[in-house]
Amino acid sequence: MKHLITGGAGFLGSHLIDNLMKNGESVICLDNFSSGSFENISHWSQNKRFKLIKHNVIEPFFYKADRIWHLACPASPFNYQIQPIETLKTIFLGTNNILELTKKYNARILLASTSEIYGNPEISPQVETYNGSVNITGKRSCYVEGKRVAETLCYDFKRTYDINLRVVRIFNTYGPRMMEKDGRVISNFITQAIRNKPLTIYGNGLQTRSFCYVNDMVEGLICAMNSNYSSPINLGNPEEITIKNLAKKISSILNNKEELEFLDLPDDDPLHRKPCIKVAMDQLNWQPKISLDNGLNKTIQYFSKCFKNEKQ
């Protein structure tokens, strides 16, 4: 089967490509390298089943595929706020282009939506039927409202043209190939601890997140694509932790003795985030297998290796 992955050179996209390629599938990776990196997919570049296309999804494109995985968009708050107008255009125009492609080739599309669509949730855990509590005009809104409208557009295409649709709401995901410059909490904490610097906590650190290891997430994406379920599905690990406890955990694994450094909490930073994954368990027979401790160790190994290479 032929797969088109937009954003395929990114953190999550490249792990998805690894899985598909290892299973003998044919892959077209489409990326404009705004936040993705060639290194993430270079190991496939000589393979006949792999094709790399440098392209911005804002511009229309027509590559035929049976399965389309629409991941293209900067996903870290730091990255998507640098160019907010570009972010919104990427999400809306990019999703529109990919839906036109889906319609033209009668393909199956999976939209990578996000837990961000729940905003600063008033309920925990977040269920798919919750409509969210979202600031429309804040700095985070370009991504949050963008992804909300992307979902709306998908379901309007489905109602109008009966496209073959899957939508997953991806909660915080971590693992090897996260980028240090992304400003994500896990990559920040690990790289700070490796460099013997204080870990930077935004706000009082009592906000929570639930972190899913990337291999679990890729399996969830594949289960969703292969299923017959076309309503939105939360994918994430329900193991919830405060940011302060996460910092203590990473400091202790890496034996970092520095004090924590408390900085301002960014605007609209959600106070709690924890997925309800009952739909994923019932409909996809999927749930994450890798514990936070286990996943952190694998991620620390990855960053330690990068750090050693950097020093040589």
What is d(CA 35, CA 32) in angstroms, rounded to the nearest whole number? 8
Q: Which is nearer to ligand UDP, 6 or 172 (CB)?
A: 172
Sole binder of ligand UDP in the list 147, 148, 177, 184 (CB under 6 A): 184
DSSP strand pairing (240-242 vs 208-210)? antiparallel
Instruction: Map residues 244-263 to x or -, x wherever contact with ligand UDP holds by CB under 6 A.
Output: --------------------
| Interface stretch with ligand UDP, choices 38-46, 154-162, 181-189, 284-292 (CB under 6 A) | 181-189
Q: Is 269 in the site for ligand UDP (CB under 6 A)?
A: yes
Q: Which is nearer to ligand UDP, 102 or 191 (CB)?
A: 191
Identified catalytic residue from 118, 143, 174, 213: 143
Q: Is 198 in the site for ligand UDP (CB under 6 A)?
A: no
Q: Is 202 in the site for ligand UDP (CB under 6 A)?
A: yes
Q: Is 240 in the site for ligand UDP (CB under 6 A)?
A: no
Q: Is 296 in the site for ligand UDP (CB under 6 A)?
A: no
Token readout for 98 is 């990919």
Q: Which is nearer to ligand UDP, 264 or 312 (CB)?
A: 264
Is 143 a catalytic site residue?
A: yes
Q: Is 172 in the site for ligand UDP (CB under 6 A)?
A: yes
Sole binder of ligand UDP in the list 79, 95, 207, 299 (CB under 6 A): 207
Q: Which of residues 52-81 bind ligand UDP (CB under 6 A)?
A: 76-77
How many residues of this chain bind ligand UDP (CB under 6 A)?
Answer: 14
Q: Which is nearer to ligand UDP, 228 or 264 (CB)?
A: 264
SS3 labels along the chain: CEEEEECCCCHHHHHHHHHHHHCCCEEEEEECCCCCCHHHCHHHCCCCCEEEEECCCCCCCCCCCCEEEECCCCCCHHHHHHCHHHHHHHHHHHHHHHHHHHHHHCCEEEEEEEHHHHECCCCCCECCCCCCECCCCCCCHHHHHHHHHHHHHHHHHHHHHCCEEEEEEECCEECCCCCHHHCCHHHHHHHHHHCCCCCEEECCCCCEEECEEHHHHHHHHHHHHHCCCCCEEEECCCCEEEHHHHHHHHHHHCCCCCCCEEECCCCCCCCCCCECCHHHHHHHCCCCCCCHHHHHHHHHHHHHHHHHHHHC
Q: Is 188 in the site for ligand UDP (CB under 6 A)?
A: yes
| Interface stretch with ligand UDP, choices 127-135, 199-207, 215-223, 233-241 (CB under 6 A) | 199-207
Catalytic residue numbers read: 143
Q: Which residues here bind ligand UDP, judged by CB under 6 A?
A: 76-77, 172, 184-185, 188, 200-202, 207, 209, 243, 266, 269
